[in-house]
Amino acid sequence: MLEIGTALALHWRKLILTPVITGAAALGCTFLISPTFTARTVFLPPQQQQSATASALASLGSLAGIAGGAAGAIKTPGDQYLALLSSVNVGDRIIDRFKLMDEYKTEYRASARKRLEQDVRISLGKKDGLIAIEVDSGSPQMAADIANQFVAELRRLSSDLALTEAQQRRVFFEGELQRAKVKLTEAQLALQRSGFTEGALKAEPKAAAETFALLRAELTAAEVKLRTLSHVMAEGSPELQTQSAKVGALRAQVQRLESSSSSTNDANYIGRYREFKYQEALFEQFARQYEIARVDESREGALLQVVDIATPPELKSKPRRLAIAASIGAGTFVLFVIAILTRHLWRRTTTDPRNAERYSRFRLALRR
């Protein structure tokens, strides 16, 4: 230690002056770098309300199991919103809105996307669930505008896509409702063309048709649920077998009613009447489910709740002049210490008589 201290003490002026001069030069160079401003916005993504949805579905008839398999539960909505914010859809709209290709002075959109990814940092709080967006720009106002525009684009994209469980149910039942409406109209027109006969009136088709329609609607719902469960459960699972048995029993009852109605002379009218009542019952069930899904969507759809709106920053975030100067000065000091000690050890090794022969062989090897 004494030897090392002596070697360093011989060059103490250089050890002090060189890092100071280097740090000062680095500090001066930082004034040539354009300042960067960082704007930050924080928002709370929509939260899933699984318990309320499940209770609403459980209270509504035989179609309660359809939406569960069709929609599926989203366990990590925050990660999903992070992916949406990082999507090309959002990025390209930001680039076009703020003309970032001209700002970045690039001819290719792919280069502008990479530059935007470097200037934007999106993070999800593990404990609080808040999503933070930080944007770097040479203009304070542009940094704030881009950060707030990310939230606006996320609102637009989430409204176009079925992201939450309620939105997926709403989309599913909306499609089923439209198809049921078309079939109900066709059944009504067919019933109007059939006419009324004395035998049809004696058969009292209304009560029989309503029972048959409800039975077929229940069969349709059970079949849809069976197809849904077959995609998400193993083939031999008890729930799948129970549902399959239920479908078989309902199908047998429907076949018995159909065979009994075909024996009458007025089967044409009765069949059309039953079809009309079946489509009517199915339409009503889908309409109720659709309205429930819309209510849930408006409740959990929510709005992206912005906690902190991005405002133009007053102070620059980059470059950090003192940190740069201090790190370069410290690095210079460490490198200078290593250089002094290496030089001292080399001289001591080469001047030691015991190493003279080894040193001469080393020089000879270098010459060869």
DSSP result, 254-266 = HHHHHHHHTTSTT
Q: What pLDDT sits at residue 136?
A: 93
pLDDT for 19 beyond 80: yes
197, pLDDT greater than 50 = no
Residue 147, pLDDT above cutoff 90: yes
* pLDDT 10s digits, 210-225: 677 788 888 888 887 7
Classify 57 in phi/psi space as left (phi over 0), alpha (psi -120 to 50) or beta: alpha
Question: How far, in Å, CA of 11 to CA of 260, rounded?
Answer: 112
pLDDT at 259: 64
Sheet with 120-124: strands ordered across: 120-124, 131-137, 37-44, 305-308
What residues contact residue 95 under an 8 Å CB cut-off, 6+ apart? 101, 109, 112, 113, 116
> What pLDDT is stored for residue 142 in this prediction?
93
pLDDT in the model for residue 300: 55
* E-state strands within 107-172: 120-124, 131-137
* 313 φ/ψ angles, rounded to the nearest 5 degrees: -70, 145
Task: Read off the pLDDT band of 117 (50, 70, 90).
Answer: very high
Lookup: tokens for 273: 């009447």
Residue 143 pLDDT > 90, yes or no?
yes
Percentage with pLDDT > 70 across the chain: 75
Q: 37-156+303-308: what fold?
A: Bacterial polysaccharide co-polymerase-like (3.30.1890)
Question: In this structure, are residues 293 and 197 in contact, taking their beta carbons and an 8 Å threshold?
Answer: no
Task: Dump pLDDT digits (tens) for 294-353.
Answer: 777 666 545 678 888 999 998 887 777 788 888 888 888 888 888 888 887 777 776 767
Q: Give strand pairing partners of 41.
A: 133
Q: What is the pLDDT at residue 57?
A: 45
Interval 68-74 mean pLDDT? 45
Q: Supply the pLDDT for residue 42.
A: 94
Nearest of 224, 247, 244, 249 to residue 234 by alpha carbon: 244
Distance CA 363, CA 357 (A): 10
> Are 217 and 281 a contacting pair, CB within 8 Å?
yes
Map out the domains of the chain as residue ranges.
2-32+320-367, 37-156+303-308, 165-300
